[in-house]
Amino acid sequence: MTSAIVASGISKSFGEVEALKDLELDVPEGAFFVLLGPSGAGKTTTLRVIAGLEKPDMGSVHLTGIEATKATPAERDLAMVFQSYALYPKQTAAQNIASPLRARRMSKADIDAAVKRVSELLHIEPLLERKPSQMSGGEMQRVALGRALVRDPRAFLMDEPLTNLDLKLRVEMRTELTRIHRSLGRTFLYVTNDQVEAMSMADQVAVLRAGTVQQVGTPTEIYDHPANRWVATFVGSPRMNLLQCTANGRLEGKGWSLPNPGFGVQGDRPALLGVRSEDLSLDVRDEAAGLDGRVYAVEPLGDRTLVDIEVGDHRVVVKAPPTSRYAVGEQVRASVALDRVHLFDAGTESAIARR
Ligand SMILES: Nc1ncnc2c1ncn2[C@@H]1O[C@H](COP(=O)(O)OP(=O)(O)OP(=O)(O)O)[C@@H](O)[C@H]1O
Ligand SMILES: [Mg+2]
């Protein structure tokens, strides 16, 4: 498949701060590609380098196969939604949305029709005559999205465009954006620090940490086969449980021991066992592969109950059915779905493969 955007070997420093270190990204044409990472990871800097708003110290940018490292932002023909909205304060929402079209001297009738179309898509028709000072953060954010979507660029770059929406609207907009992406058939490079957004919308996710891509894959690949400890604990809620152990024929930790389900290790290897909370169950009795512990806390969340148990000197979270009744201090056994556990090298923190 052709690549819409390729960034290779990008490095960018701001004084002492190395924002991007040898960053590699390859965004396929037409993809909904999500760049996921915590605050400060370099997500905005990556978008700005691709958009031509920031000059990289090293590396190159190719757009649909053509070198664009030195191209001006206008030549790149990318529409960007800024994290800070960047709306014109003296213009109404309608005028803000229309601004990229006015710059191209489209007829008033065509502009009006285009503004109407995107404002319907984004459910912002009632806001069209308001100025930014008369809108909430979430409303401004949707107008900023509208201003990008009104164009027909080579690709859309979106920098955390849903962060200021309340939960209900954010969930709604996730569905809308997926739908808009499908109907436009254009490449979306979408930045977020919210893993739920990444998992729910992306065809492909690149996980960014401290200016370096840690892993690229489909949401399922990243969730089910995290490349290292950092990705494993960054993606998923509650966080993946990690238990120090020695891996050999068995995985042995302080106060627990499990059969090694096929991880390729030689000698006694210091490692970290990774178990997601949904891969533990308190309902199975007499299971051979289990962790014995004592209930430390119980957190009912409506659709499920999180049970914290103490196993040796580790705290382990189990996702239990909402009907679960456990008492603090109770002795329990958490059976482990061994085919779904992860093992990371204690030193390099990279995932250890199964044989
Ligand atoms: N113009 C700048 N001058 C100095 N440092 C900068 C500048 N822009 C970014 N940085 C630094 O570069 C790093 C990456 O910043 P960037 O804005 O790309 O992160 P981000 O992933 O977008 O974070 P957030 O999720 O908080 O928006 C940070 O350490 C930041 O402080
Ligand atoms: Mg940012």
pLDDT for the residue numbered 188: 98
DSSP letter string, 60-92 = EEEETTEE-TT--HHHHTEEEE-TT----TTS-
Residue 121 confidence class, pLDDT cut points 50, 70, 90: confident
Separation of alpha carbons 183 and 307, rounded Å: 43
Neighbours of 297 (CB within 10 A): 13
Q: Say which ligand is closest to the CA of 46.
A: 1
In short, whether 45's Cβ falls inside 6 Å of ligand 1 is: yes
DSSP tag of 239 = P
**Tens-place pLDDT, residues 7-51:** 999 999 999 999 999 999 999 999 999 999 999 999 999 999 999
Q: Is the pLDDT of residue 287 over 80?
A: no
Token pair for 220: 């399922």
Q: What pLDDT digit, counting tens, does each position of 167-192 carry?
A: 888 898 899 899 999 989 999 999 99
Mutation test residue for ligand 1: of 43, 158, 194, the one with most atoms within 8 Å of CB:
43
How many angstroms separate the CA atoms of 177 and 202, rounded? Answer: 11
As a whole number of angstroms, the distance between CA 321 and CA 304 comes to: 5
Model pLDDT, residue 124: 93
Share of the chain above pLDDT 70, in %: 99
- Give me 69's structure tokens: 């490292």
Answer yes or no: is pLDDT of 292 > 70. Answer: yes
Residue 331 bridge partners (DSSP): 294
Q: Alpha-carbon distance 240 to 245, whole Å?
A: 15
| Cβ atoms of 294 and 331 closer than 8 Å | yes
Q: Per-residue confidence at 277, pLDDT binned at 50, 70, 90?
A: very high
CA of 41 to the centre of ligand 1 (A): 7
Q: Match 């044409």 to its residue by tokens.
A: 29
Cα–Cα dist 189/35, whole Å: 7
Tell me how far the alpha carbon of residue 43 lies from the centroid of ligand 2, in angstroms: 5
For residue 19, give the ligand nearest its CA: 1
Q: Which two tokens stand for residue 230?
A: 């950092």
- CA separation for the pair 211, 114 (Å, rounded): 37
Q: Decide whether any atom of ligand 1 lies within 6 Å of the 215 Cβ.
A: no
Q: Which helix (H) or strand (E) holds 260?
A: none
Give residue-wise pLDDT tens across range 217-249. 999 999 999 999 999 999 999 999 999 999 999
**Which atom of ligand 1 approaches the CA of 193 most closely?**
25
Mean pLDDT of the 89-110 span = 92
- pLDDT > 90 fraction of the chain, expressed in percent and rounded: 85
Query: Quick one: tokens of 208?
Result: 């960014």
Does 23 contact ligand 1 (Cβ within 6 A)? no
Dist. CA 276 → ligand 2 center (Å): 29
Distance 42 CA to ligand 1 centre (A): 6
The ligand whose atoms approach the alpha carbon of 35 most closely is 1
Q: How far is the CA of 20 from the centre of ligand 1 (A)?
A: 10
Residue the block writes with tokens 């382990």: 316
- Write down the mean pLDDT value for the chain: 94
Q: How far apart are CA 106 and CA 26, in angstroms?
A: 33
207 pocket-lining for ligand 1 (C-beta < 6 Å): no
Neighbours of ion ligand 2 (CB under 5 A): 43-44, 83
pLDDT at 285 over 70: no
Cβ of 44 below 6 Å from ligand 1: yes
Q: Determine if ligand 1 sits within 6 Å of the CB of residue 14.
A: yes
Q: Which residues contact 103 (CB under 8 A, 6 or more apart)?
A: none
pTM: 0.92
Q: Assess whether the C-beta atom of 193 lies below 6 angstroms from ligand 1.
A: yes
> Which pLDDT band, with edges at 50, 70 and 90, does 138 fall under?
confident
For ligand 1, atom 6, which residue shows the shortest CA distance?
14
| Whether the CB of 40 sits within 6 Å of ligand 1 | yes
Kindly identify the ligand whose nearest atom is closest to the C-alpha of 10.
1
